[in-house]
Chain A
Amino acid sequence: MAAVSLVRCERGFARDAAPDWMRQELRTGTTIMAVEFDGGVVIGADSRTTTGAYIANRVTDKLTPIHERIFCCRSGSAADTQAISDAVTYQLGFHSIELDEPPLVQTAANLFREMCYRYREELMAGIIVAGWDKRRGGQVYTVPVGGMLTRQPVSVGGSGSSYIYGYVDSNYRAHMSKEECLQFTAQALSLAMERDGSSGGVVRLAVISEHGVERRVVAGNQLPSFSAI
């Protein structure tokens, strides 16, 4: 999903080429990623939110908790994805209370898909839903722009994902351990952040398993580096 380069068109009293309310919205031009491993999932994202060429927030948290052991990684329009996540958090919470049981990751993914597909003309949201439940363990579901839903062992999204499909395809192996998955995710995100202008900042990682959620942050100067050029 390529990032659109948007020129910032509001400047004080300067003549507006477009009226002020058509000023560009906050985009999470982004790289997000999720990997299943035996016992849970590892999710990761960069931390940059842009309005056109200006970085509105360089420490964004794009890993949003939906339920105790279900997270979503957000890419696309910041406003749309925040609104969708809030709505799904409410719906899933209600559903879980009714059932008196922790919800399934598949349920969360379907709620996202319902909303993203029904309002596909008005929304711009690419979401990866990942979590752990008792029935199927760690699962990763991807709901790209348009509202498709599919389960994948590893999934990348956002504008920076184009640059790392090759890396992910060649380096992913089934049955990796938790530490190997963390390393894999951090490296893939670093590579994407290196090449994609709309991704950057710090790498936020989280591990979701039966034991709970463990969050980590890898600062810019501690990211793995790959080449001298």
Chain B
Amino acid sequence: MNNFPETCATKQLNSVTTGHGTAITEIPTSLRPNRSGKKNRLSVDMALSHVFETPVSGFNFENSTRNILLENVLDEGKTKAPKPLKTGTTIAGVVYKNGVVLGADTRATSSEVVADKTCAKIHYIAPNIYCCGAGTAADTEKTTDLLSSNLTIFSMNSGRNPRVVMAANILQDILFRYRGMIGANLILGGVDCTGNHLYRVGPFGSMDKVPYLAMGSGDLAAMGILEDRFKVNMEVEEAKTLVCDAIHAGIMTDLGSGNNIDLCIITRRGVDYIRPYQESEYKQRRQEKYKYKPGTTPVLTENIVPLELELVHEMVQTMETA
């Protein structure tokens, strides 16, 4: 199996093993977790944060340790680390006569709140390959970015356009290696010299090649529409309507999907990324302005307290002016 640099999942904020004795910057005093004499292992080496390291085997959970430490320090444990942003989603794809149509809603939720109303869930992989992602937002973003970079390098090295099956195989390799820890459910669609293809890649590394597909939390509703109206070798307008209706069904039935519908039509000639294809019918215009003049709220009392700062560390570095 291929070995790709694990830059997506193992980006670390700790000091890189560069052989330097001391770090160049240190965390401000308010965030230091302990006052022991030991070298602070959470020091950040800013200038070298992009050094490529040899991959260490196994998973790296150092960020989880850091999060727990931060939670304990800030507000004595009252602040919680933010939960990963999940895209409760409806995504769908259909193979038609001259290419592939991919569709997605645009809602990204963080528990009960809509975090992003215009989230772009159709990611660019190659000029002829696009990928819809459902699951954990960060995972789908980074995995598709990594895939896109790999395919660009491959195109430059070999002088060929990448094939959809290659993209699917690379995704399968990456996701299987992480044994389901990367929560990315992906619909990969594209047109290459061998034809029009649609693949589903699951978070554990399983791959399915199918003519029509829906994923995400709204997939049951979308699949109903697709199962009813899909036909082989449809025309482009019919395919667009079908995918749009499937996403719409997902939006209507699932609370985690909503807002606009994006469509991406991929053909041999090129890509038509229509964003948005259909806007949410229920978005209201702002009725009034909500700005208030200074002085609207009367000031009753004013109290100025100077901050007591304790000088902990002073370092003088003379500049070379010669």
Report A's interface with B, CB cutoff 8 A. 10-14, 20-23, 25-26, 49, 51, 54, 56-57, 59-60, 77-80, 82-83, 86-87, 122
Q: Chain B contacts of A11 at CB under 8 A?
A: 88, 217, 256
A-facing residues in B66-114 (Cβ within 8 Å): 84, 86, 88-89, 109-112
Q: Chain A contacts of B203 at CB under 8 A?
A: 21, 23, 25
Q: How far is the CA of A26 from the CA of B203 in the complex (A)?
A: 9
Contact with A along B124-145 (1 / 0, CB 8 A): 0000000000011000000000
Does B6 make an interface contact (CB < 8 A)? Answer: no
Judge whether B1 and A87 touch: CB under 8 Å: yes
Q: Chain A contacts of B183 at CB under 8 A?
A: 20-21, 23
A-B interface pairs (CB < 8 A), number:
82
Q: How far is the CA of A218 from the CA of B255 in the complex (A)?
A: 39
Judge whether B180 and A56 touch: CB under 8 Å: no
Chain B: interface residue count, which band? 35 or more
Name the one of B109, B111, B208, B217 contacting A60, with C-beta atoms under 8 angstroms: B208
Judge whether B1 and A20 touch: CB under 8 Å: no
Does B207 make an interface contact (CB < 8 A)? Answer: yes
Does B254 make an interface contact (CB < 8 A)? Answer: yes
Name the one of B109, B181, B210 contacting A59, with C-beta atoms under 8 angstroms: B210
CB nearest to B202 among chain A residues: A26
Report B's interface with A, CB cutoff 8 A. 1, 84, 86, 88-89, 109-112, 135-136, 172, 175-176, 179-183, 200, 202-208, 210, 217-218, 220, 254-257
Q: How far is the CA of A51 from the CA of B206 in the complex (A)?
A: 11
Q: Chain B contacts of A60 at CB under 8 A?
A: 208
Beyond A26-B202, A87-B1, list 10 extra A-B contacts (CB 8 Å). A12-B88, A13-B88, A13-B255, A21-B203, A56-B208, A77-B204, A79-B175, A79-B204, A82-B172, A83-B205
Q: How far is the CA of A51 from the CA of B112 in the complex (A)?
A: 25
| Interface class of chain A by DSSP | mixed
Could you pull out 25 A-B pairs where Cβ atoms are within 8 angstroms? A11-B217, A12-B88, A12-B255, A12-B256, A12-B257, A13-B112, A13-B256, A14-B255, A25-B180, A25-B204, A25-B206, A26-B202, A49-B206, A56-B202, A57-B200, A57-B210, A77-B204, A77-B206, A79-B180, A79-B204, A79-B206, A82-B205, A82-B206, A83-B1, A87-B1
CB nearest to A21 among chain B residues: B183
CB distance from B227 to the nearest CB of A (A): 9
Judge whether A79 and B176 touch: CB under 8 Å: yes
CB distance from A50 to the nearest CB of B (A): 12
CB distance from A25 to the nearest CB of B (A): 4
Name the one of B88, B208, B220 contacting A54, with C-beta atoms under 8 angstroms: B220
Judge whether B206 and A12 touch: CB under 8 Å: no
Q: How far is the CA of A56 from the CA of B214 in the complex (A)?
A: 9
CB distance from A201 to the nearest CB of B (A): 13
Task: Indicate whether A12 sits within 8 Å of B218 (C-beta atoms), given known contacts A25-B180, A79-B205, A82-B207.
Answer: yes
Q: Chain B contacts of A86 at CB under 8 A?
A: 1
Task: Indicate whether A83 sits within 8 Å of B220 (C-beta atoms), given known contacts A25-B203, A57-B208.
Answer: no
CB distance from A72 to the nearest CB of B (A): 16
Q: Chain B contacts of A82 at CB under 8 A?
A: 172, 205-207
Q: Chain B contacts of A80 at CB under 8 A?
A: 204
Name which of A20, A21, A56 has the most chain B CB atoms within 10 A of its CB. Answer: A21
Q: Chain A contacts of B206 at CB under 8 A?
A: 25-26, 49, 77-79, 82
Q: Chain A contacts of B200 at CB under 8 A?
A: 56-57
Q: How far is the CA of A14 from the CA of B86 in the complex (A)?
A: 11
Q: Chain A contacts of B84 at CB under 8 A?
A: 20
CB nearest to B183 among chain A residues: A21
Name which of A11, A12, A57, A60 has the most chain B CB atoms within 10 A of its CB. Answer: A12
CB nearest to B86 among chain A residues: A20
Q: Chain B contacts of A78 at CB under 8 A?
A: 202, 204, 206
CB distance from B182 to the nearest CB of A (A): 8
